[in-house]
């Protein structure tokens, strides 16, 4: 028998034990065991003490985000955690794969024998021998004749053989996730690029020859180039020579008027140059990662000027460069304040006419989302849609996907959370790594070791005129599109309802570029697979920007073009590329022919703006937002 008081003590002790175990406990004392609460107030329930306070949660979040943001400033937005995870995934699985280890050992011995045989041939032929390995087609570092002389041919052949071996070592390891495999293979390639013989004075015959010929003056010029670049970078100035391309004068100079402005866009209507125009106006939706005038560069390569000259009424969106006060602008704001607002203005200026929508890069993705949502409306605003290097399926967006995983996205979100936006300079680490041998090492070698300052062109100057991206919008874009691929899989919501690309029924004109590292053409080609309408697909040579800015008369331009009707069977991209004939020249001419075929007969030119409807001209093009830094 246990005394009554002892029973109560046991009960309380048991309750405390239960509380420590994490279960909810209610302490009762019907017999009055607990002392007078006025003298001895009850302590809070132990379970309550285990709950995190609001202050604790907030402090933890701030500490986590601030730490990530500090690291991001050093790494230019690249997450070291993501790289470390990929490395250990590869290392552990390689340690458990003896067959792969044997294979790598055999390949290492065979490559060493090949290199020794090459060296013997060089000795027998006084330094000349056939290469045992050829560089990849895009690798132009060792093209100079001087690289074929001993000992430099041995140096670069050794580098290429090591590069090939490491590619085999980092791929095909059983058990490694495909994402980690791509990340590690890419990272190993970047590390090898650091030690390429082309990067160093003693192992680069071009630098040695230039130094001997000029008595070292190339290093003097190179140091001057370095100081100039450092001063420009530190002072937030554009690169040397970019000042020659001023918006409104040398570039973005097509005459027009800003006819509408809100907190996010200026809508520019361009002055007609023909007596009559096609009845359907053209609305250009550019990406917001750079200024809008990628399609209005110099007069000779301005797509906007070209369209105006072909008899089209052209409108273009000029996005505002967001500041910290715009941190909460999201994808829905870019749709409503951007595309919807622009369409409303165009409907007032050119009433009762459908619109030819044109989207470039991110602007094309946004235009596709808006068109999918408006496809459910009784009246469609679009006559046709054209998309340049614009993705709707992000399942395989090329090497850029290497920097898009949960760790990387969280890293970028924390960096944007601290400052309210993402500066394009903070993304430069990822974009330079995509083509480090061209964009970083070779470029720096020529500027700082050879003492050459490459001439500035309008496209490079435009690329340096970058913009920021709001915290909320970019986070939504990365998570919903790149990370989760919600648009392609029918989960992306507009106004609370999921939208699907297959709802678009107007004719499409889609352009991919064969050397695009941002929107690979096979990913862009998925317009053919995901739509149920007429799709004309073009594959042109060039990169993400240079392939689009491909005006008539541009040298060495060619393209492939074919149209798939809505009821045609699907053709995979590689088969399409192998069976579609190539055409010489600019794809712009094929596009305007396509626009003509989907437009009405010419009519009188519309007025510039519509003051009565609230769209009076405000200021001459290119407006004011293009100048915001």
Q: In the predicted model, what is the mean pLDDT of residues 516-536?
A: 93
If pLDDT is split at 50, 70 and 90, which confidence band does 351 have? very high
pLDDT at 4: 43
pLDDT at 34: 43
State in Å, rounded, how far the first CA of the chain is from the last one.
84
Round the average pLDDT of the chain to a whole number and report it.
Answer: 85
CA dist list (Å): 227 to 223, 230, 283, 464, 609: 6, 5, 43, 18, 48
Whether residue 84 is predicted with pLDDT greater than 50 in this model: the reply is yes
**Residue 404 contacts residue 82 (beta carbons within 8 Å):** no
Q: What is the pLDDT of residues 209-230, one digit of tens each?
A: 999 999 999 999 999 999 998 9
pLDDT at 9: 40
Whether residue 401 is predicted with pLDDT greater than 80 in this model: the reply is no
Paired strand residues for 261? 266
Residue, of 374 and 378, whose pLDDT is higher: 374
Whether residue 8 is predicted with pLDDT greater than 80 in this model: the reply is no
Model confidence pTM above 0.85:
no
pLDDT at 140: 84
Domains of the chain plus CATH, in order, are 4-49 (no CATH), 80-203 (no CATH), 256-395+485-627 (3.40.50.1820)
Listing DSSP states for 101-166 in one string gives HHHHHHHHHHHHHHHHHHHHHHHHTTT----SSPPPTT--TT-SGGGGSTTHHHHHHHHHHHHHHH
pLDDT at 70: 66
Whether residue 104 is predicted with pLDDT greater than 60 in this model: the reply is yes
Catalytic residue among 122, 132, 361, 510: 361
The contacts of residue 333 (CB under 8 Å, 6+ apart) are: 264, 473
CA–CA separation, 338 and 7 (whole Å)? 73
Whether residue 161 is predicted with pLDDT greater than 80 in this model: the reply is yes
Residue, of 189 and 427, whose pLDDT is higher: 189
If pLDDT is split at 50, 70 and 90, which confidence band does 238 have? confident
Q: In the predicted model, what is the mean pLDDT of residues 577-587?
A: 96
pLDDT at 335: 94
CA–CA separation, 62 and 77 (whole Å)? 18
CA–CA separation, 189 and 514 (whole Å)? 22
Say whether 361 is catalytic: yes
If pLDDT is split at 50, 70 and 90, which confidence band does 191 have? confident
pLDDT at 31: 44
CA–CA separation, 11 and 33 (whole Å)? 11
CA–CA separation, 609 and 441 (whole Å)? 49
Whether residue 514 is predicted with pLDDT greater than 50 in this model: the reply is yes
Residue, of 309 and 69, whose pLDDT is higher: 309
Whether residue 418 is predicted with pLDDT greater than 90 in this model: the reply is no
CA–CA separation, 516 and 524 (whole Å)? 10
Whether residue 69 is predicted with pLDDT greater than 90 in this model: the reply is no
Whether residue 378 is predicted with pLDDT greater than 50 in this model: the reply is yes
pLDDT at 12: 38
pLDDT at 488: 92
């Amino acid at each position: 028998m246990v005394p009554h008081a002892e029973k109560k003590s046991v009960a309380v002790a048991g309750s405390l034990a239960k509380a420590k175990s994490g279960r909810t406990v209610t302490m009762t004392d019907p017999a009055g065991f607990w002392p007078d609460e006025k003298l001895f107030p009850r302590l809070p329930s132990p379970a309550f003490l285990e709950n995190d306070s609001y202050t604790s949660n907030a402090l933890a979040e701030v500490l986590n985000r601030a730490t990530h943001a500090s690291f991001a400033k050093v790494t230019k937005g690249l997450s070291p955690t993501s790289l470390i995870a990929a490395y250990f995934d590869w290392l552990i699985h390689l340690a458990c794969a003896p067959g792969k280890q044997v294979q790598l050992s055999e390949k290492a011995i065979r490559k060493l024998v090949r290199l020794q045989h090459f060296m013997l041939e060089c000795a027998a032929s006084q330094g000349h021998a056939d290469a045992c390995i050829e560089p990849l087609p895009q690798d132009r570092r060792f093209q100079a004749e001087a690289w074929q002389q001993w000992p430099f041919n041995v140096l670069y052949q050794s580098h290429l053989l090591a590069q090939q071996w490491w590619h085999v070592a980092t791929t095909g390891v059983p058990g490694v996730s495909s994402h980690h495999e791509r990340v590690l293979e890419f990272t190993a390639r970047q590390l090898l690029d650091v030690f390429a013989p082309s990067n160093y004075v003693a192992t680069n015959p071009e630098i040695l020859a230039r130094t001997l010929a000029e008595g070292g003056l190339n290093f003097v010029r190179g140091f001057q180039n370095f100081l100039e670049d450092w001063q420009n970078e530190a002072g937030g100035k554009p690169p040397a020579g970019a000042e020659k391309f001023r918006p409104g004068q040398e570039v973005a100079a097509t005459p027009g008027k800003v006819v509408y402005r809100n907190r996010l866009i200026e809508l520019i209507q361009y002055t007609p140059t023909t007596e009559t125009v096609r009845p359907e106006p053209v609305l250009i939706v550019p990406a917001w990662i750079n200024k809008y005038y990628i399609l209005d560069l110099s007069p000779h390569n301005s797509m906007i000027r070209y369209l105006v000259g072909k008899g089209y009424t052209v409108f273009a969106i000029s996005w505002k460069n967001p500041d910290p006060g715009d941190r909460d602008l999201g994808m829905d704001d870019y749709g409503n304040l951007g595309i919807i607002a622009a369409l409303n203005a165009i409907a007032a200026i050119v009433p009762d006419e459908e619109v030819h929508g044109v989207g470039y890069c991110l602007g094309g993705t946004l235009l596709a989302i808006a068109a999918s949502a408006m496809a459910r409306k009784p009246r469609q605003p679009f006559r046709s849609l054209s998309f340049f290097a614009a993705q709707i399926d992000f399942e395989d967006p090329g090497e850029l996907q290497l920097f898009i995983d949960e760790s990387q996205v969280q890293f970028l979100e924390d960096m944007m959370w601290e400052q309210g936006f993402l500066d394009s300079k903070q993304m430069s680490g990822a974009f330079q790594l995509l083509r480090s041998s061209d964009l970083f090492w070779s470029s720096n070698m020529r500027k700082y070791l050879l003492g050459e300052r490459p001439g500035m062109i309008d496209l490079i100057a435009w690329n340096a005129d970058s913009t920021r991206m709001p915290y909320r919008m970019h986070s939504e874009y990365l998570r919903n599109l790149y990370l989760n691929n919600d648009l392609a899989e029918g989960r992306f919501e507009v106004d609370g309802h999921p939208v699907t690309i297959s709802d678009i029924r107007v004719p499409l004109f889609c352009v991919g570029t064969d050397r695009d590292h941002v929107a690979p053409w096979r990913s862009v080609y998925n317009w053919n697979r995901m739509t149920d309408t007429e799709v004309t697909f073009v594959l042109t040579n060039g990169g993400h920007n240079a392939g689009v800015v491909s005006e008539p008369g541009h040298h060495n331009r060619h393209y492939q073009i074919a149209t798939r009707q809505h009821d045609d069977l699907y053709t995979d991209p590689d088969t399409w590329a192998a069976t579609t004939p190539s055409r010489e020249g600019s794809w712009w001419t094929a596009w305007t022919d396509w626009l003509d075929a989907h437009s009405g007969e010419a009519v009188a030119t519309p007025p510039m703006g519509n003051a009565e409807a609230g769209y009076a001209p405000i200021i001459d093009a290119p407006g004011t937002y293009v100048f915001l830094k």
